[in-house]
A = this chain, B = another copy of it.
Amino acid sequence: MSTKDPVRIEQLNWMEYEARMKEQQPVVFIPVGALEQHGPHLPMNCDELIPREISEDVARTINGLVAPSLNYGYKSQPRTGGGNHFPGTTSLSAEAMILSVRDVVMEFARHGARRLVLMDGHSENTMFIIEGIDLALRELFRDGITDMKILRIGYYEFTSASTEKVVWPDGFPSWPLEHAGVMETSVMLYRRPDLVDMTKLATDVPAQFPPYDVYPVTFENLPTLPRSGALNSAKLATAEKGKLMFNEYVSGIALAVTDEFGLGKKLK
């Protein structure tokens, strides 16, 4: 049976939210995801589910709040997500992404939030989140709100060197190549094994790419692009590795957020 989750803003009523905002100045996490193919063995919500669940766990640790996700992300690119031509991948234009981020940031600022984290799970979003933040900060400055501080976090950047060695004993490929690879598969195995089918792992990986992009994105134009949509093998993925990484992301981000927003004294 469902029970109310006090870190999820949308489950609060506005008076509870207002009280939290006024009394605690909580950090607000905004997960930014994607609906994107992740090979034959993973569901299409990895880029939303993982950063949202990390956000929730961090929020529980530091008494923060998590906003509803931006469920759709920017167009998938071949070298980082296989390309936007796959069925299922459902993306926004740059303009829609930028304005959505701008608007949501400005609204939380109106509520009194001054500490935001844009938690990104889809690397193609990065620059559009950045532009959305920049547009919002300019407008807010003109509104007299000059004390906002916003972090943009790609959670995977919190992987430590030691974890890297454990997870990829033969060497870390690269974050782009990790699309539907060991990291995402492991974390999904840890958090949502019901959504992973390890019997369907792609065999046409790893992808090989030239050092440039080709458009339009078609299999004809990109003959080395795996038809499976995965960019690297996930054979080495395990729920245990997923747990290791997930926890490292949560604790690393909790520490960074605590430090950046000066929350130290408020944490028990």
Contact = CB atoms under 8 A, between A and B. Distances in A.
A213 B90 contact: no
A133 B215 contact: yes
A35 B157 contact: no
Interface stretch (A37-45, A162-170, A238-246): A37-45
A190 interface: no
A7 interface: no
Interface string A86-109: 111111111110111011100110
A15 B104 CA distance: 33
A157 B38 CA distance: 26
A151 interface: yes
A1 interface: yes
Interface in A109-128: 110-112, 124, 126-128
B229 A14 contact: yes
A45 B210 CA distance: 27
Interface residues of A, number: 97
A216 interface: yes
B212 A153 contact: yes
A194 interface: yes
A150 B218 CA distance: 12
Most buried by B among A68, A214, A221: A68
Contacts of A179: none
B71 A70 contact: yes
A75 B35 contact: no
A21 B87 contact: yes
Given A14-B89, A35-B10, A67-B35, A2 B192 contact: yes
A142 interface: yes
Contacts of A38: 13-14
Interface string A3-16: 11000011111110
Which 7 residue pairs of A and B lie closest in terms of their CB atoms, listed nearest first? A14-B37, A10-B45, A14-B88, A157-B211, A68-B71, A96-B99, A127-B127
Contact of A148 (B72, B152, B216): B216
